[in-house]
Amino acid sequence: MTSELQHTTVLLDEAVDALLGGAGPEPAGTWVDATFGRGGHSRRILLRLGPRGRLVAFDKDPEAIHEATRITDARFSIRHEGFRHLADLPPGSAAGVLMDLGVSSPQIDSPERGFSFRFDGPLDMRMDTTRGESVAQWLTTAEVQQIAEVIRDYGEERFAGPIAKAIVARREERGPLATTAELADLVAGAVKTRESGQNPATRTFQALRIFINAELEELQQALEASLSVLQPGGRLVVISFHSLEDRIVKQFIAQHSKEVYDRRMPFAPPKVMKLVALDRIKPSAAEVSANPRSRSAIMRVAERTEA
């Protein structure tokens, strides 16, 4: 079932144009798709690369790795690892790095993955189903305070406290939560008001998914690694889908796009800037109309300096 689900790549042309910008008509060198997903960006990059170009992709989802086997291009390789493993690439080896954050449509639309409250399925939410703890497993032992902190910090949910208390009360009375429907119903009973058009469980599901996959920590590690692996003039292109991700990307680019002086050593040369911010792009009205899931996307583009 999962393999038949469709995924529409967000900002496809814009991302590939930004990544390969200035690389010439037949780009050579090594390029990185740090989040392969269902391969939309990778396939388009391969169409644009020259014969001496090479594309290395990363993904920790076994279904993404299976999808990658459909690509028979000898210039392509994929690693079954999260994108923090960018750090394993040789320094200065990448001509460009693309990161498309978030969850792919097949992941969301597969009930057995447990990412969505729209389908009843096991409460899993792991990007890599071969390792780690599922959301259901974590919720069997987590304390009220721990659960509340996760839902508040990663979901920006103002009813995090009542939701956490309801989860633990349910666990003590009838046993732990096991399915997405059980969690969605419980959250709906604990959330008193919600923005028009938004399911009460939206923020809680987002928070638990981000936490169980350590998404924000891995994003920070991958961004830091990109500074090492990018060649001078190499592009960093990052597409994010919610404010927590975009804030990290925005602050990272801003931090490395300026010279920093040490006030304790006023005559010492400043730490040189490592990035130049180039662009911030959102999907067009036409793309949002055709693919509503693209509406929250923000793409930021930066270029590695000579330093």
Asked if residue 44 and residue 7 are part of one domain, the reply reads: yes
**Domain end residue (candidates: 147, 177, 212):** 212
Asked if residue 57 and residue 75 are part of one domain, the reply reads: yes
Please tell me the distance from the alpha carbon of residue 44 to that of residue 83, in angstroms, as a whole number.
20
Residue 113 lies in a domain: no
Asked if residue 197 and residue 227 are part of one domain, the reply reads: no
**Domain end residue (candidates: 212, 247, 264):** 212
Please tell me the distance from the alpha carbon of residue 298 to that of residue 43, in angstroms, as a whole number.
21
Specify the pLDDT at position 307.
Answer: 65
Asked if residue 238 and residue 200 are part of one domain, the reply reads: no
Asked if residue 94 and residue 67 are part of one domain, the reply reads: yes
Q: How many domains does the chain have?
A: 2
Asked if residue 222 and residue 186 are part of one domain, the reply reads: no
Q: Which two tokens stand for residue 41?
A: 């960006």
**Domain end residue (candidates: 163, 179, 212):** 212
Residue 227 lies in a domain: yes
* C-alpha neighbours within 13 Å on the C-beta side of residue 73: 23
CATH assignment at residue 144? 1.10.150.170
Residue 114 lies in a domain: no
Residue (of 93, 100, 36, 98) closest to 228 by Cα position: 93
Residue 292 lies in a domain: yes
**At residue 251, what is the residue type?**
Q
Specify the pLDDT at position 268.
Answer: 54
Q: Which two tokens stand for residue 223?
A: 């961004």
**At residue 94, what is the residue type?**
A
Specify the pLDDT at position 4.
Answer: 46
Range of the domain at 205: 129-212
Asked if residue 97 and residue 7 are part of one domain, the reply reads: yes
Name the DSSP letter for residue 78. Answer: E
Residue 42 lies in a domain: yes
Residue 118 lies in a domain: no
Q: For the chain, how many residues are written? A: 307
Please tell me the distance from the alpha carbon of residue 52 to that of residue 63, in angstroms, as a whole number.
29
Asked if residue 64 and residue 49 are part of one domain, the reply reads: yes
Which helix (H) or strand (E) is 251 found in, with range?
Answer: helix 243-255
Residue 298 lies in a domain: yes
Specify the pLDDT at position 1.
Answer: 36
Asked if residue 172 and residue 297 are part of one domain, the reply reads: no
- Cβ neighbours around 251 below 10 Å, total: 12
Residue 68 lies in a domain: yes
CATH assignment at residue 12? 3.40.50.150
Answer whether 241's CB lies under 8 Å from 297's CB.
Answer: yes
pLDDT tens sequence for the chain (307 residues):
334 456 789 999 999 999 999 788 899 999 999 999 999 999 999 999 999 999 999 999 999 999 999 999 999 999 999 999 999 999 999 999 999 997 887 888 888 999 999 889 999 999 999 999 999 999 999 999 999 999 999 999 999 999 999 999 999 999 999 999 999 999 999 998 777 778 999 999 999 999 999 999 999 999 999 999 999 999 999 999 999 999 999 999 999 998 655 566 565 555 678 999 999 999 999 999 999 989 999 999 999 998 6
Answer whether 54's CB lies under 8 Å from 31's CB.
Answer: yes
Specify the pLDDT at position 290.
Answer: 94
- Cα distances (Å, whole numbers) of residue 222 to 131, 132, 216: 20, 20, 10
Asked if residue 194 and residue 59 are part of one domain, the reply reads: no
